[in-house]
Structure 1
């Protein structure tokens, strides 16, 4: 049986997938659009508890989102969507040949100042949770030492 809620979810999921293919993350800013859909607003909404639907439907939908991007809902992991987006963009810069030392304030990706975010991550490294520290470490990021 055709369900308008499932059809709408499928259309938004397709837009989220298109956004992911372009940006490498579903950690969208709230104003983001893809395939003529307000995907940033939709993802903000579905990250809220209970917004994916009832039990069975919610589980299926969460699995579909995670199949596109396992980190589609970083708040459940203990960090913000903004933090996840910047982490993804740093990983992209490094994969594209940038050196960590070159990612200084003012270096941007998709309009986001990744260099400024990186400086903050280094400064506050000890305040990050263990998983954030592990993920930053995989990119070569360590806490700042000395004054």
Structure 2
């Protein structure tokens, strides 16, 4: 049986291989500035070819990290496999990444995510975390309350 894609413990992207070719290192290289070549026309053509294969091939240009994209991909894979969103809690992993913990964090930092990240998570059914209600300190209106607090002092 031929291995099409392998992620090692040394780094999920950098060491990825396809058909025994180091595609992880290659992707890391081409995502760098001028990684598609110094000729702007050729670089544009190459970027278009890559986008035809995967519009998200360069997450940095989309406004998020490879790490965010890997976790998001893990979330969508888990949801496609059957567990509901409520079952993806901290400790639920996909290919070694704790997707549940990542998901919880995304709901907490929702306002810091860019609109496309919010849209993609929203499409998966994710919503921002509810903000806890602030409570005001209770003060006693009993006639002797101030006297008791003075006695404590």
TM-score normalised per structure 1: 0.77
Matched, 1:29 2:17: no
Equivalent residue, structure 1, for 2:121: 136
Query: Which contiguous aligned blocks of 4+ residues in structure 1 show a shift greater than 2 angstroms?
Result: none
Q: Is the 8 A contact 1:104 1:119 kept in 2?
A: yes
CA-based RMSD of the aligned residues comes to 1.8
Q: Structure 1 residues 80-89 or 35-44, which shifts more? A: 35-44
5+ residue gaps, structure 2: 133-153
CA distance in structure 1 between the partners assigned to 2:54 and 2:74 by the alignment:
14
Q: Is the 8 A contact 1:29 1:82 kept in 2?
A: no
Matched, 1:50 2:34: yes
Larger Rg, first or second structure (1 or 2): 2
Q: CA deviation at 1:71?
A: 0.3
TM-score normalised per structure 2: 0.74
Aligned 1:1-147 pairs, distance under 5 A: 19=5, 29-53=13-37, 54-147=39-132
Q: Is the 8 A contact 1:74 1:81 kept in 2?
A: yes
Q: Which has the higher contact order (CA 8 A, sep 6+)?
A: 1
Q: Is the 8 A contact 1:86 1:117 kept in 2?
A: yes
Q: C-alpha deviations, 1:88-128, integer Å up to 9, x for none?
A: 11111111211000001111112221111101101111110
Q: CA deviation at 1:72?
A: 0.6
CA distance in structure 2 between the partners assigned to 1:50 and 1:146 by the alignment:
43
5+ residue gaps, structure 1: 1-17
